[in-house]
Structure 1
């Protein structure tokens, strides 16, 4: 998608100046450094509104683009039928979608998370609020995780949003998983593997699945995806 003008300006002017200052040792390492620069570039590329608190047009928002796509898939597949554990058609229809983001998660330092923005947009597009859940709403204990997985398998959850750590290793919700959405780009290739292992998994009743990544042109995520896919 086309980048927000403010994001382009930030990358072209502010980030470039900061890189030059760090390389020339014009700032102390505790004030600015390459790791902090990379983190800011990553966050700004993810969602300019979350990064700077400035609204951008939906055409420049990865969250807006994801919401439109997730809602479309939900409505197209809300009557899709799946089998229960016993092999009979489950009375509750509907596919499952998984949305991943390690940035702007619930409970962070910001008053409003990107997760909240996504859910609000989905509800506005006709997805029932009670069917959009965050993995962060469930404790990491075995009982809570089992309940989350069961709700995904029986159609009570249509959209599950989580981070790699919350929704990656050991989460078995593949039965109805039809689509997976990367809102951000993790640092490590193995994190991509863990995410996509939730949907490309034995026991998924869908013959074909879809995987989406949301990337602004000329942003840090272009470089990020090129790096992790090598």
Structure 2
């Protein structure tokens, strides 16, 4: 998430947005469980979530929680339209979601600075959004986030 944070900072003045694709899992409802360690009560997350982990790491670096969103939370067309408007305006600057949920019909390219794939996309069409934006605006960055074999 270092690269996402670096680009978040670099494109701050332009409110540059980023898409983070993750097909490894979907966001889980965050359940908290109480546990006892050495007689001290603590609260822990019940299950690991890639989405929550990414969000929490970005927040830990200083990204405001309101600038990070999960596409999966927009569970109807009205919520999707509202979320996409926030991304296009730069209010939400990092949008996480699966290839299926953020694929065709996700019209958020207005301020798009980068897209990231946490796992390898299976189809060439799944990596086209940033390249289509690149044809329109020449100030986008296409990267494999340091992977040698992308």
Q: TM-score, normalised by structure 1?
A: 0.52
Kindly state the Cα deviation for residue 104 of structure 1 after the two structures are TM-superposed. 2.4
> 1:116 aligned to 2:52?
yes
Root-mean-square deviation over aligned CA pairs: 2.5
- Which 5+ residue runs of structure 2 have no aligned equivalent? 30-45
Partner of 1:97: 18
Aligned residues: 134
Question: Paired residue for 1:188, among 119, 123, 126?
Answer: 123
**Structure 1 pair 200/188, CA: closer, same or farther in 2 (3 Å)?**
closer
Paired residues of 2:55 and 2:68 also in contact (CA < 8 A): yes
Alignment of 1:134-145 (within 5 A): 134-139=70-75, 141-145=76-80
Aligned-partner Cα distance in 1 for 2:21–2:95: 9
Whichever of the two has the greater Rg, that structure is: 1
Kindly state the Cα deviation for residue 155 of structure 1 after the two structures are TM-superposed. 1.2
- Which 5+ residue runs of structure 1 have no aligned equivalent? 1-66, 81-93, 226-230
Greater relative contact order, per chain length (Cα 8 Å cut-off, separation 6+): 2
Aligned-partner Cα distance in 2 for 1:76–1:202: 18
Deviates more, 1:208-217 or 1:130-139: 208-217
Paired residues of 1:153 and 1:175 also in contact (CA < 8 A): yes
Aligned-partner Cα distance in 2 for 1:177–1:151: 12
Partner of 1:148: 83
> 1:159 aligned to 2:90?
no
Paired residues of 2:11 and 2:113 also in contact (CA < 8 A): no
Kindly state the Cα deviation for residue 118 of structure 1 after the two structures are TM-superposed. 0.8
Residues 83-133 of structure 1, C-alpha deviation per residue, up to 9 Å, x if partnerless? xxxxxxxxxxx110111111122139x822111111111111111111011
Partner of 1:72: 6
**Structure 1 pair 212/104, CA: closer, same or farther in 2 (3 Å)?**
farther
| 3-state secondary structure, aligned to 2:132 | coil
Kindly state the Cα deviation for residue 149 of structure 1 after the two structures are TM-superposed. 0.9
Paired residues of 2:113 and 2:141 also in contact (CA < 8 A): yes
Higher helix fraction (1 or 2): 1
Aligned-partner Cα distance in 2 for 1:211–1:77: 14
**Structure 1 pair 123/138, CA: closer, same or farther in 2 (3 Å)?**
same
